[in-house]
Structure 1
């Protein structure tokens, strides 16, 4: 049955990824990593209390932009294939055409893993100096962080936590529903 589950997951992901709304959502989502990279670059020297915060935004923005761009490329390519009526059929010799491009999926996996670890590091860097001075203190001029930079980083992390929680909740719902359906099919 694992092969059937693998094929069902592939068809589900193919359907979602080829949806025009998904492509539009990816284009809209592209604004976040681009703004992260821009903000990190603009304020690179403006947070001496924790100089890794602008670096977190810059590197996360660049890698995030790469990840979303690859997802956009894959989605538009899949839409093009589906518009040409290239459909995976049960009679196909290769039921899992994604296996031919396994290097691309490893790239997505590596980028996702890097972004997750970078997210954890960003949490540490940003919240280790929670609410720093936003104006350089006279007696300690290195103990501040630009207000725009810091609040943007906190906002990015809050948004990331929200999306991560929704993904976990959605995955749990799909798992529970599929287990219920699988149990009903066995009876």
Structure 2
């Protein structure tokens, strides 16, 4: 769970699901990523129901699944595409929105970050963000990996490019979690 302070300092930590942490389980991690992505869409559509409104409980379920997807994305970044890095910094909006991923052990991670007052969230409607931003980011990751794996060997340069796609997914997920937690209206 991401803790959000009143001045938008972000903190989180966790341990990866041990059943998915072996290096040879890449396909299982990607499968889990796609399943989680689909679940988020289903939860959102089911939450709207006939009244087109989302309740506090439904909002919590949506955040929980976004956080699950974030953990899977961070796991992929750590296990498959870190190139030995123990700290990864991801920025958006000229550095006004910044997160840092720190890998303590093979399966333990920490997230810290901040959103400065100068940063302007461009999220307005969850459905639009999900269909256009998140879908595109996940598609880019899968395409980038697929193209890189065609020759059965992924170079360091290709790994760095794939890592950037995962970084984008991560920061988009954190932004949406903050948006839902702090700005999304519900009944």
Tell me the TM-score range normalised by the shorter chain. Answer: 0.3 to 0.5
Q: Using CA pairs under 8 Å that are at least 6 residues apart, name the structure with larger relative contact order, 1 or 2.
A: 2
TM-score, normalised to structure 2, is 0.34
Between Structure 1 and Structure 2, whose CA radius of gyration is higher? 1
Larger strand percent: 2
TM-score, normalised to structure 1, is 0.34
Larger helix percent: 1
